[in-house]
Amino acid sequence: METPSLHYLKELSCGNKLFEKKILKLLIEELPMEYNTYQQAIDSNNYFWASETVHRIKHKIAFFQMQNALNVTEKHELALRSGKLNFQEEFQDIVAKILKFLPERPE
């Protein structure tokens, strides 16, 4: 599995550390909440709601420049819309890897 990267953030910020810190803070706050929402949707068998949440998370995965993970996430989003969990385990591994990669708080 790929490793998340902050290279895109570094490019986007052009060295502006305050901007980087704000974006990291946003990711650190939003991703766990969105993942909890996804889990709630899965637990309640509301796969459409889960697919909507995966769609939001997909943009964060793209931010970390994880192309293979992004492809799996897109497949998972579409599978959920068909009521299938074919890519659930892979998706969960991807999100867990990103959550582990993120610092607890921006430096």
Q: Write the burial class of residue 16 (CB in 10 Å: 0-12 exposed, 13-18 middle, 19+ buried).
A: exposed
Cα maximum dimension of the chain: 44
The predicted model gives 14-38 an average pLDDT of 94
pLDDT per residue as tens digits for the range 46-94: 999 999 999 999 999 999 999 999 999 999 999 999 999 999 999 999 9
What pLDDT sits at residue 2?
Answer: 87
Is the pLDDT score of 107 beyond 60? no
Is the pLDDT score of 105 beyond 70? no
Q: Domain ranges in the chain?
A: 31-101
Percent of the chain at pLDDT > 90 equals: 93
DSSP annotation of 16: -
- The whole-angstrom separation of Cα 92 and Cα 95 is 5
Is the pLDDT score of 24 beyond 70? yes
- The whole-angstrom separation of Cα 53 and Cα 27 is 15
pLDDT per residue as tens digits for the range 35-57: 999 999 999 999 999 999 999 99
Q: Contacts from 5-8 at CB under 8 Å and sequence distance 24+?
A: 5/64, 5/65, 5/66, 6/64, 7/65, 8/63, 8/64, 8/65
